[in-house]
Amino acid sequence: MAKEDYYQLLGLSRNASDDEIKKSFRRLAMKYHPDRNRDNPAAEEQFKKIKEAHDVLSDPKKRSAYDQFGHAGIDPSMGGGAGFGGASFSDVFGDVFGDIFGGGARGRGGAQRGSDLRYNLEITLEDAVAGTEVKIPIPTLVSCKVCNGSGASKGSSAVTCPTCHGHGAVRMQQGFFSVQQTCPTCRGTGKQIKDPCRACHGQGRTQDTKTLSVKIPAGVDNGDRIRLSGEGEAGETGGPPGDLYVQVSVKDHPIFTRDGANLYCEVPISFPKACLGGEVEVPTLSGKVALKIPPETQTGRLFRLSGRGVRPVRGGGVGDLMCRVRIETPVHLNKEQIDLIQQFDESLTGGGSKHSPQAHGWLDGVKQFFDKIGL
């Protein structure tokens, strides 16, 4: 089957300029790219055809041979008519549209964006709930003040790389295959510094420590992350800086634990207070409050203090403070106290489930279990 005319595939005239070829291919590649037409095999086939046409017409030698002899003038050893030449769709897409989507060869924009940084910040529970402002030291690479980030010494400037001619990448061809690699001379920047800055040795960046003031919003929790735009490492040769991410972790609190918007704490109470009831003072993050203990309270019972928890950073109502009571067994008893407890215990004897319903129910369960297994 005869191949279609390359100019017709790209919708161009025979005297189309290099810029027109490039623009037409971009437009058609965007339309027929397989990632945008996953269920359309015809689109993938059309993409291969326009890629092949672009490879030939964008190369002066191949285009000249094609104009004179048509498809017969394209020598396979030069890589003509090889379609993708072994490259993946993503490689092709990144190569052609790198300046649109931020991909492609490293040097296409010249200056490179700096790396993002991460800072682990540990704060107290009180600061996490109420919010605070902290100052943090950040060791990082900053734009060189001597050369203003250019990497070249004063009075000089970077020149176009003679190896890649400013593209930042070189193409290696072997038969049907064409491989693009980062330029070894300029390391992908597309430029070469003949007289590097002595302060930064041509890097355009120097090591420094800066102090930042970070506002911690009220309600943050473990694992929350705060982004500070432009506070990361400076970019290479004057490129834009990266971002700084402050990773928040909350210290363990001696009294409270947090679960979402709620706070939890344990409140020890005496045995007499558990039996007779009364009031105990419990701490909250906004001060002390009185908690009423009803008579005959059992250990582990949970009491809720509404609105004494946390207002989440992402919105929503304020949580509650959940107080779990623990009955404390008296220690270091003297003889008189021991005698009183023994008398009290004897007074309960014979009461059965009346005074100790949980223990009575547990003993009944144990007896049924042993009867079941024949013990």
Q: What is the pLDDT of residues 77-97, one digit of tens each?
A: 433 443 333 333 333 333 333
pLDDT, the chain, mean: 81
Cβ burial of 164 (10 Å; 0-12, 13-18, 19+) is: buried
* Of the options 3.20.10.10, 2.60.260.20, 3.90.950.20, 3.40.50.2000, the CATH number for the domain spanning 257-329: 2.60.260.20
Residue 44: burial class (beta carbons within 10 Å; 0-12, 13-18, 19+): middle
Task: Measure CA 241 to chain center.
Answer: 18
Look up the CATH architecture of domain 117-250.
Answer: Ribbon (2.10)
Is residue 32 scored above 80 in pLDDT?
yes
Q: Which CATH superfamily is domain 6-101 in?
A: DnaJ domain (1.10.287.110)
pLDDT digits (tens, 9 = 90+) for 245-262: 999 999 999 999 999 999
DSSP string, 4-55: PPHHHHTT--TT--HHHHHHHHHHHHHHH-GGG-TT-HHHHHHHHHHHHHHH
The model's confidence at residue 31, banded by pLDDT at 50, 70 and 90, is confident
**pTM for the structure as a whole:** 0.55
Residue 108: band (very low, low, confident or very high) from pLDDT cuts 50, 70, 90: very low
Length of the chain: 375
Q: State whether the Cα torsion 58-60-64-69 is positive or negative.
A: negative
Say what the pLDDT of residue 42 is: 87
Domains 117-250 and 257-329 agree in fold: no
Instruction: Sketch the domain layout of the chain as residue ranges.
Output: 6-101, 117-250, 257-329
